[in-house]
Structure 1
């Protein structure tokens, strides 16, 4: 039967996230986690639905994509469909042809799972290697050390501090209090936690959001940041340890994160908290 491409309706977003959760396994690197959709929900349900694409056959979802920016498609594929030729051809066609409404003309990026056939097809269509990413993971079958700082689970009272840390940590961040509430009111956040670390003067110094994919599955850090005024003091390591402990409490089998390989400070921070560097991933880039 034919593979079809669709944009989910708002009320279908939770089922799409559920499908992604089923594909999460500790022994494979993944490009898209249900937490990625949960984090995107800060922009609201309608905008999130517009950014999601699904590829299905006979009602079964075989691939999910998230437009993480207008020219970046992050793609995840069902483990049993990584080498499905019909699926790969359809995804490659949708990613390459602007009239399909997935990616615009000109420069664009696709992050596909390692070993997926669609990557080979895109290379044949003129795509080339793009940015390098470093995945990191820590198994959660052993106790995680105490972070050594005061850490709070963010509720309504801490939201202004949580969003302020985010904006300080990431230049150009548009994370506002309203966007935190939009994210927290969406269904995926029921399996998530926002954490805020404070120094010994009570100042908010670092923050993280963690996303569970269900018991026995990898949990995601997205995002983690340290306030610009408090860097170099170990707060990044502390909040990552707190994130690992939170995911352990949620039943996650491991904590995972992807960061640009060029962001060496982030890689070092994650490694200092016990996450192990995995083989690098490379996205695909179309230059014209």
Structure 2
């Protein structure tokens, strides 16, 4: 890992090992809500340990427990260097699972809802999240991304990103407004990652510890051997390998457990050797 920090958009310095907020409110979209006190404790400890990049979304929650409200409760007044990224686009269905997509006319309300829930006047980074739980789908995102570009021009958003996109969608967005971050599933990332690295754009893999469709480029034997050699856990090897892929990669492992949080964040000090897995190619 060449650097522990990344300059987002040229004006925000992010520690490359951040925190994903999805599991603060529930372990899965189908699972029960977690106790809010646990999420608040995890957030406060994350910031104490040096996290200054939190990735969240207005659709992360269940019942009376929502990630954005936990973030506001736990961390306001916000530190000057804390960067909060959120995602808009998915709409929750009646079962509480994000199964629909917002139209261009609905995006402003979603951004304004995130501002209210987080207690902010401006969002640091907003991703347009495209499609469902499967991979990028090739649909045009121009009309929706143009709405976010307008909100950026109005001062409600500082930086824009795209999530779950293919190369054509990425190019489409960049033709409308500057893109500072891409958030895609880590598997099969190398071509788009190389484009991001060349352009100084952050690449933020989601499901960094596995999940999603179950694909994984590091098998259990590889992970076990590397973990034993390094005196680390498999999760720490995954995170360190992710950060070793490129100086443009930001890792956002999430958890609702203080113990897992401490384990994940300790991976920043894990130095991989030449014999260890150095990337997570799908």
Q: Normalized per residue, which structure has more strand? A: 1
Greater Rg over alpha carbons, structure: 1
TM-score normalised by L of structure 1: 0.34
TM-score normalised by L of structure 2: 0.35
